[in-house]
Structure 1
Amino acid sequence: MTCEMYKIPATIVLNKVDIYRDEASEQVEYFKSIYTRAGYDVVETSAKTTEGIDTLRKLCRGQGNSLGINLISGESGVGKSSLIKAIDPSLDPKIGDITIAHLQGKHTTSLYEMYPISTGGYIIDTPGLRAFGLQGLEKEEIYTYFPEMLEASRHCRFTPCSHTHEPGCAVKEAVERGEIAPERYNSYLGMLEEDGKFR
């Protein structure tokens, strides 16, 4: 959602394909379908077998007006550092958080570094980054950062429409028809309930 708000192209990377392909292939295919239906590119990778790494290298180079600056983010343990090393073996990203001490005690901080990639482009590693906050976002505009909901909302009977209870809501109808994933719609509803603390 942060990428949509700031008009930053996003690609979903599913790493460790060598592990999950046999164990959870149906769940993975369903997860991929959620995001491809929403208009995102999804790339399956494995730092271990190098599957999908060439695709990532090409994405990192940038195209058209893109500067080739890429940020990699994800939960701890998903293999971000391993992916960076697979993209460019000469890179040595730091692993984990850095604990610093000063007069007021110890604090855990995160060190983000931008590395030049030998095959073109740059990659920013974000150890310790768990979520992006959104500043200045009004509840009424949340749906506009879900591309599939924005498209469907053009056909709502009422404007404005909160896409929660109104009759003739094209977003709710698209969810019922399976055109919008219920997980994405529920994420939207959860954000509405968070009273301004959007993540």
Structure 2
Amino acid sequence: MSSYQVFVTSVPPTAEDVISYRSLRLLALQTDQHCFSSMYTYECELAFSEETWRERLSSGNKAIIIARRADNDSNHGRVGGINGDWVGTVTMIAPEEVSDTGLPIAELPIAETHNIYAVFGMWVHPEHRGKGVGKRLLKEGIEWVKRRREGGLHGEKKTELTLALKGRRGNEAGVALYRSVGFEIVTVDDADSDTFWMTCTL
């Protein structure tokens, strides 16, 4: 039975982290493109330079959280279902950089009164789903947000702090996962859309 380590990548990233994250992200896009925004495709990100990947990992206003298989005989930083893999990821993006994600946060009625963190790029390798990896990733992300609040690291001083994400119709497993850590569906887009908002106020 596999065990897992969950951690936030360091800022600035190590060279090994850049390589491992690039491999994990490209695998996610290649495996489950339908889970990601059309802004982000495998072909587009495959062409990114090493510097672009490094920059993605270098912001102090977001946390890239990784789940790594932690078997005793594992080797750090390999991807794809082998011992030592990076097998899952999620990103928490602070209010200062949410606009860079393309998420239309202004759609949310609470946008004017809440500090909104975006939950972005959630993915777990198919061989490691159903083992609690996704929940651990989200819990680590929530703890990172709480630590920022305790440290007063918010760009805008508002009364509430909320995490927000876009879900997709038909993804019942994803909805159940997010609900397990406190998210709820708050608004459904127009009838022609396959997405909806989920939020979790801390």
TM-score, normalised with respect to structure 2: 0.25
User: Whose strand proportion is higher, 1 or 2?
Assistant: 2
**Bigger Rg, structure 1 or 2:** 1
TM-score, normalised via structure 1 length: 0.25
